[in-house]
Structure 1
Amino acid sequence: MELESLKLGICNLPEPLYLYVKSGDSEGKKYCWYYHDPDTKINTPEYSTAVCGYLSELRLTYKEFKGKENMKLNIVVSADETYIIRTGIETNFAKGFLLAIALIKDFSRPIIIGCSPGDQNTVFCRVYDALTKSRVEVDWGTQVDLSIINTVQTRLGGAVVHQPHSGQTSLPSKLTC
């Protein structure tokens, strides 16, 4: 960052902003993702339906939830801030994202990652080319081959994703939509 573009004064810490995927309703307004403050354990809805930026990394992590370890997909997007969209690996959101991202040829272009609510807690992901606003169309009848994560990560110029070992024996190789 050049000194001329640096904003001086009050600012946020240079930490990534985590967006968690979940369909909800707050004060009569629907949302599909939220911020979570681990110190206060407070969830704050994010009412915007999309994040626009450059896909910079995909990561798999294990997180404990309700006493069980769950595998999460972290989608790292570089924009005005660094956003990490975190979702369960077996969610409709993750499946839709992985099916769409496998079809993208040029990661030097910005993308739009959108969310839309389904029934109950379901959230769907839609991916768009940010410059043309065209949606990446996916075939929901297709199984999601999780090797997409390593393929995309390699194309992004990053290290291949290695799942941390934690209680679970292995990552399923495919997810059925």
Structure 2
Amino acid sequence: MVTEIKLGLCNPPEPIYLHVRNGELNGESYLWYNYDNKNQITTPVTQTGLAGYISELKLTTKEFKGKDNIKLDIYVRADDIYVVRTGKETNFAKSFLLAVSLIQDFSKPLIIAATAGEGNVVFCNLYDAATKTRIRCEWNKDADWPAIIDSVQTKLQTSQNSHIVSGEPILF
């Protein structure tokens, strides 16, 4: 398969980071946003779903208010490379991990959808992109999160069209 490369002005091939938060800006509600660190500007993203191929899960440490916070980064290949970043202890991360643990074939596109809960809570719904069918899972607040991440990473490594880059050890 030959990939057509558009020539001319473009942006560098850096991932687009989508952060998860149930927020409001100028009277408009949003569930994801981009953050420009340089200019300290939050830009809400109005779409609540992201369709693409999950290619990697990674835990990263980010400093916030003088403390280290561990984030779950979900890498998605689509029209660009996206990284959905959320706190590892959030309802979004846990609902994503429970649903993604049921996926056997990562060579098919999925839709990751942010769904508002009560207050500032955000959950994740996962869908088969071809059939638009939601991948239903039972909530389990006591799930073995490191084992789920390890299992998903193993499936990602063996799935066609996927690539995993080893990151730091998975600790929950």
Q: CA deviation at 1:63?
A: 0.7
How many corresponding residue pairs? Answer: 165
Q: Does 1:153 align with 2:153?
A: yes
What is the rounded CA distance, in whole Å, between the counterparts of 1:68 and 1:142 in structure 2? 25
TM-score if structure 1 supplies the norm length?
0.86
What runs of 5+ residues in structure 1 fail to find an aligned partner?
Answer: 165-170, 173-177
What is the rounded CA distance, in whole Å, between the counterparts of 1:99 and 1:86 in structure 2? 17
TM-score if structure 2 supplies the norm length?
0.89
What is the rounded CA distance, in whole Å, between the counterparts of 1:99 and 1:161 in structure 2? 21
- Is contact 1:52–1:111 with CA below 8 Å preserved after alignment? yes
What SS does the corresponding residue of 1:9 show, helix, strand or coil? coil
- Is contact 1:61–1:163 with CA below 8 Å preserved after alignment? no
- Is contact 2:51–2:110 with CA below 8 Å preserved after alignment? yes
- Is contact 1:154–1:160 with CA below 8 Å preserved after alignment? no
- Is contact 2:59–2:70 with CA below 8 Å preserved after alignment? yes
Query: Which residues of 2 match residues 58-137 of structure 1 at below 5 A?
Result: 58-137=57-136
What is the rounded CA distance, in whole Å, between the counterparts of 1:2 and 1:55 in structure 2? 22
What SS does the corresponding residue of 2:123 show, helix, strand or coil? strand
Q: Deviations over 1:57-102 (max 9, x none)?
A: 0000111112111111000000000000000000000000000000
What SS does the corresponding residue of 1:156 show, helix, strand or coil? helix
More displaced 10-residue stretch of structure 1: 123-132 or 134-143: 134-143
Match of 2:161 in 1: none
Query: Which residues of 2 match residues 14-53 of structure 1 at below 5 A?
Result: 14-53=13-52
What is the rounded CA distance, in whole Å, between the counterparts of 2:166 and 2:11 in structure 1? 31
What SS does the corresponding residue of 1:144 show, helix, strand or coil? coil
Q: Structure 1 stretches (4+) deviating beyond 6 angstroms?
A: none
Q: CA RMSD in A?
A: 1.8
- Is contact 1:19–1:34 with CA below 8 Å preserved after alignment? yes
| Percent identity of equivalent pairs | 51
Q: Deviations over 1:143-176 (max 9, x none)?
A: 3322111111121113565338xxxxxx33xxxx
What runs of 5+ residues in structure 2 fail to find an aligned partner?
Answer: 158-163
